[in-house]
């Protein structure tokens, strides 16, 4: 944004920011880190990640926090805005040798004040189940690395289950485990269960129950993150090949796909009602995708580097009461036959179910605003509002007007649109994919701002096109139109099949290792070590990337920049010295973390007084700029 543009402000770390609901303030006394508070030397280490769970403690301190820094894993009582953090008393601390924790997840169903189930994934491929309250290590999965030798990128408990969990690896594979089963002493043998466009699901052949129950191979390259829908029925996967793939989880059916503008997708999240998915990655953009329409409905530009985390703020996402209250009181079946917010799940409260009623352009809904945030390697926090004029463009030209209004919110229309479009194109040039979108560049520099409406009517027909001309290319995944899920009732988790052995994944392993070293996508085979050969491989892979991008750009998989509304952030602030790796929205605050190992708490407007009233001695005056 303009305020971030020049002078001293570029390097100034912000400790507060203002939105329409008020001022968010950094609580320096609520900072969690290693006990010595020394910044962690993050060179070559895995990203700092944070997990929360509430144990329903009667004392009011029910929140627990887990975070990894380098080889260390910490577990604290999280006091948030209520009380200053006491780092001298971790509930549990573990230091690992030979491997590093990369991600973790609590099971909210089994959490009590006396016991919690915490899954921890590691850089060498293992997954550990621990209880940091009882200080027990109950099980180690993939201990001999016979299932997968590559780094664990994401681990999640299957929603609603006390025993099933899903693990993603940088090999591009996901595995479904049951905590009750062993992993066996030999490498698993697999039989193909289901196959589709660039994905396959295999069952494990075994005379007795063993892990993994299933193996998913998704896309090419690493599977960087996955997220379950709020009702637990769908799974969104963000992959290094740049594709977002959304599956029906039980039936393993591909529901829809989306392609990044360029580069890999690194993060993904669902809106609280399950109607929208936001993804971010190496194109420096946040992309909003409609679940029901299976299409990109907006992009957000504000970051100057890769977007590492996206998250919806369920507290600020709102529905204005008034016009059609009765329309929001029924079930969600009218929205989509396979989507309804799961009854009895804590995350699907009444306000979320009210949000999930309407996604039709037949009649105007009550006012809806979705708030989501993003953090990136540029050390910036961005907050975004997804509003009704973006979600429900009723008139044929309404998307054109929205596009113009959004882009001119903070700058004159002509200069704002030219600068924005050119900056995207120049970023593309720097990544070696400059042949992707010359149309965007020429329209920005050669025509005035009012030239955008000339190209936009073409995009108005995109939602109606189930499979455009470009959608039949090999990478279009059935043109991105929503799959019918005809076999949605057939769960694959309980299926048992006779197996054939599946091919090795070693090529994916070497690919990921080189990706981490070179910090860019590389499709070489991994056996050439000389620098000159590496450069040749990189050139070859960039040509491949150009060719693949040319097939999808301008289709519903990946609309051109001028074909969808371009959001500008409400807030875009530099809040750390190192790249940001965590963004979590809680009731009283939002939590961020950077690669130096500092977990910061930002009090929501009106919530900062809670701590200063309860603990005035620990309330410094330095929380504001």
Question: What does the domain layout of the chain look like in residue ranges?
Answer: 19-56+140-320+367-393+561-603
Report, as an integer, the average pLDDT of 599-622: 64
Element (H, E) at 571: strand 571-574
Q: Would you say residue 560 has pLDDT above 80?
A: yes
137 pLDDT band (50/70/90 cuts)?
A: confident
- Residue 591, strand partner residues: 584, 601
Reduced to 3 states (helix: H, G, I; strand: E, B; else coil), residue 405 is helix
The CA distances from residue 213 to 23, 180, 496, 604, 607, in Å, are 48, 11, 9, 42, 45
Show the 3-state SS of 164-179: EEEEEECCCEEEEEEC
572 pLDDT band (50/70/90 cuts)?
A: very high
The pLDDT value recorded for residue 504 is 33
The pLDDT value recorded for residue 58 is 73
Given a contact cutoff of 8 angstroms between Cβ atoms, the answer to whether 203 and 191 are in contact is: yes
The pLDDT value recorded for residue 56 is 82
Sheet holding 566-567, edge to edge: 265-270, 276-281, 285-290, 295-301, 566-567
Report, as an integer, the average pLDDT of 180-192: 95
Reduced to 3 states (helix: H, G, I; strand: E, B; else coil), residue 79 is coil
Element (H, E) at 19: strand 16-19
503 pLDDT band (50/70/90 cuts)?
A: very low
517 pLDDT band (50/70/90 cuts)?
A: very low
Q: Checking DSSP bridges between strand 199-205 and strand 189-196, what pairing results, if any? A: antiparallel
CB-count exposure of residue 305 (10 Å: 0-12, 13-18, 19+): middle
The CA distances from residue 343 to 195, 340, 368, 395, 420, in Å, are 31, 8, 22, 36, 43
32 pLDDT band (50/70/90 cuts)?
A: very high
Please state, rounded to an integer, the average pLDDT across all residues of the chain. 75
38 pLDDT band (50/70/90 cuts)?
A: confident
Given a contact cutoff of 8 angstroms between Cβ atoms, the answer to whether 150 and 508 are in contact is: yes
The pLDDT value recorded for residue 608 is 78
pLDDT digits 0-9 by tens, 226-258: 999 999 999 999 999 999 999 999 999 999 999
396 pLDDT band (50/70/90 cuts)?
A: very low
Report, as an integer, the average pLDDT of 27-46: 87
Unique residue bearing structure tokens 């993150």 = 225
Q: Would you say residue 345 has pLDDT above 60?
A: no
Q: Checking DSSP bridges between strand 318-319 and strand 307-312, what pairing results, if any? A: unpaired
d(Cα 393, Cα 620) in Å, to the nearest integer? 47
Q: Would you say residue 185 has pLDDT above 80?
A: yes
393 φ, ψ to 5°?
A: -80, 95
Q: What is the DSSP letter of 48?
A: P
Pair of tokens at residue 390: 């973006």
Angle, in degrees to the nearest 10, between helices 438-446 and 452-460: 140
Pair of tokens at residue 314: 């369920």
Burial state string for 518-540 with b = 16 or more CB within 10 A and e = fewer than 16: eeebbbbebeeeeeeebeebbee
574 pLDDT band (50/70/90 cuts)?
A: very high
The pLDDT value recorded for residue 379 is 97
d(Cα 424, Cα 285) in Å, to the nearest integer? 9
The pLDDT value recorded for residue 27 is 96
Reduced to 3 states (helix: H, G, I; strand: E, B; else coil), residue 617 is helix
Residues with Cβ within 8 Å of 532's Cβ and at least 6 positions away in sequence, in order, are none
Residues with Cβ within 8 Å of 85's Cβ and at least 6 positions away in sequence, in order, are 29, 30, 31, 32, 76, 79
The pLDDT value recorded for residue 40 is 85
103 pLDDT band (50/70/90 cuts)?
A: very high
Residues with Cβ within 8 Å of 479's Cβ and at least 6 positions away in sequence, in order, are 466, 467, 468, 471, 472, 555, 556, 557
d(Cα 131, Cα 99) in Å, to the nearest integer? 19
d(Cα 285, Cα 307) in Å, to the nearest integer? 7
Instruction: Average the pLDDT over each of 86-90, 128-132, 188-192, 403-407 and give the range with the smallest value.
Output: 403-407
Reduced to 3 states (helix: H, G, I; strand: E, B; else coil), residue 245 is strand
CA of residue 417 relative to chain centroid, distance = 28
d(Cα 405, Cα 559) in Å, to the nearest integer? 20
The pLDDT value recorded for residue 546 is 61
Higher-confidence position of 452 and 492: 492
Report, as an integer, the average pLDDT of 133-157: 94
CB-count exposure of residue 110 (10 Å: 0-12, 13-18, 19+): middle
Q: Would you say residue 82 has pLDDT above 60?
A: yes
Look up the CATH number of domain 19-56+140-320+367-393+561-603: 2.130.10.10
Given a contact cutoff of 8 angstroms between Cβ atoms, the answer to whether 160 and 342 are in contact is: yes
Given a contact cutoff of 8 angstroms between Cβ atoms, the answer to whether 471 and 480 are in contact is: yes
């Amino acid at each position: 944004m303009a305020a971030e543009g020049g002078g001293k402000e570029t390097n100034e770390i912000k400790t507060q920011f203002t939105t329409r609901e008020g001022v968010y303030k950094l609580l320096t006394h609520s900072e969690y880190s290693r006990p010595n508070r020394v910044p962690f030397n993050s060179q070559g280490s895995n990203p700092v990640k944070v997990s929360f769970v509430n144990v329903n403690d009667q004392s009011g301190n029910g929140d627990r926090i887990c975070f990894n820094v380098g080889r260390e894993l910490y577990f604290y009582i999280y006091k948030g805005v209520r009380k200053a953090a006491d780092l001298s008393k971790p509930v549990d601390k573990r230091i690992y040798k030979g491997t590093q924790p990369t991600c973790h997840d609590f099971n909210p169903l089994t959490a009590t004040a006396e016991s919690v189930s915490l899954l921890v994934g590691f850089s060498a491929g293992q997954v550990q189940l621990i209880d940091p309250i009882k200080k027990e290590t109950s099980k180690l999965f993939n201990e001999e690395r016979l299932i997968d030798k590559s780094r664990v990128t994401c681990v999640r408990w299957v929603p609603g289950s006390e025993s099933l969990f899903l693990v993603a690896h940088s090999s591009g594979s996901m595995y479904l485990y049951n905590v009750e089963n062993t992993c066996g002493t030999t490498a698993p043998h697999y039989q193909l269960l289901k196959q589709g466009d660039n994905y396959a699901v295999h069952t494990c052949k075994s005379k007795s129950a063993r892990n993994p129950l299933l193996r998913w191979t998704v896309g090419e390259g690493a599977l960087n993150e996955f997220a379950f829908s709020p009702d637990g029925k769908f799974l969104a996967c963000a992959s290094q090949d740049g594709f977002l793939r959304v599956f029906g989880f039980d039936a393993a059916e591909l529901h829809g796909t989306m392609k990044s503008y360029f580069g890999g997708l690194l993060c993904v999240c669902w809106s609280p009602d399950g109607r929208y998915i936001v993804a971010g990655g190496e194109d420096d953009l946040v992309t909003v995708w409609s679940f029901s329409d299976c299409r990109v409905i907006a992009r957000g530009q504000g970051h100057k580097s890769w977007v590492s985390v996206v998250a919806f703020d369920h507290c600020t996402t709102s529905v204005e009461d008034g016009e059609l209250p009765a329309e929001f009181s029924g079930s969600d079946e009218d929205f989509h036959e396979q989507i309804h917010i799961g009854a009895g799940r804590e995350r699907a409260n009444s306000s979320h179910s009210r949000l999930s009623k309407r996604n039709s352009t037949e009649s105007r809904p009550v006012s809806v605003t979705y708030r989501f945030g993003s953090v990136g390697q540029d050390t910036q926090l961005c907050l975004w509002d997804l509003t009704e004029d973006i979600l429900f463009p009723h008139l044929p030209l309404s998307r054109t007007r929205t596009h113009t209004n959004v882009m001119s919110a903070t700058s004159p229309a002509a200069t704002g649109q030219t600068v924005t479009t050119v900056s995207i194109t120049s970023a593309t040039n720097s990544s070696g994919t400059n042949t992707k979108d010359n149309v965007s560049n020429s329209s920005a520099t050669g025509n005035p701002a009012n030239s955008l409406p000339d190209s936009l009517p073409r995009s108005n027909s995109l939602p109606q096109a189930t499979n455009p001309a470009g959608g039949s290319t090999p990478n279009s995944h059935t043109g991105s139109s929503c799959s019918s899920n005809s076999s949605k009732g057939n769960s694959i988790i309980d299926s048992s099949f006779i197996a054939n052995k599946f091919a090795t994944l070693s090529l994916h392993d070497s690919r990921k290792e080189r990706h981490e070293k070179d910090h860019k996508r590389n499709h070489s085979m991994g056996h050439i070590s000389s620098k000159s050969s590496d450069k040749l491989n990189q050139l070859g892979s960039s040509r491949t990337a150009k060719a693949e991008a040319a097939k999808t750009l301008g289709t519903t998989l990946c609309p051109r920049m001028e074909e969808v509304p371009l959001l500008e952030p409400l807030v875009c602030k530099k809040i750390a010295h190192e790249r940001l790796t965590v963004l979590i929205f809680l009731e009283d605050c939002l939590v961020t973390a950077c690669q130096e190992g500092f977990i910061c708490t930002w009090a929501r407007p009106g919530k900062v007084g809670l701590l200063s009233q309860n603990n005035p001695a620990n309330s410094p005056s330095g929380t504001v700029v």
